[in-house]
Amino acid sequence: MSAEATIETVEAEAGTPKEGFIRCPKCGYEIPDNLVVCWKCGAILK
């Protein structure tokens, strides 16, 4: 498992995103809350 994948797994298991971030409803990736498109899966957020 790559370091990035490990970090993503730990963050996903943590539950709540850091302040100023949200979780994409489609893939669960933690992204800045000012984005309108998830940069991991391309889902429209707003």
What's the total number of domains in the chain? 1
pLDDT bracket for residue 1 (50, 70, 90): confident
CA 23 to chain centre: 4
Q: Give pLDDT tens digits for 24-42.
A: 999 999 999 999 999 999 9
Residues 6+ apart with CB under 8 A from 27: 38, 40, 41, 43
- What pLDDT, on a 0 to 100 scale, did the predictor assign at position 25? 94
Average pLDDT, the chain: 86
Task: State the residue range of the domain holding 23.
Answer: 1-46
User: What pTM does this model have?
Assistant: 0.59
Contact 35, 44 (CB under 8 A): no
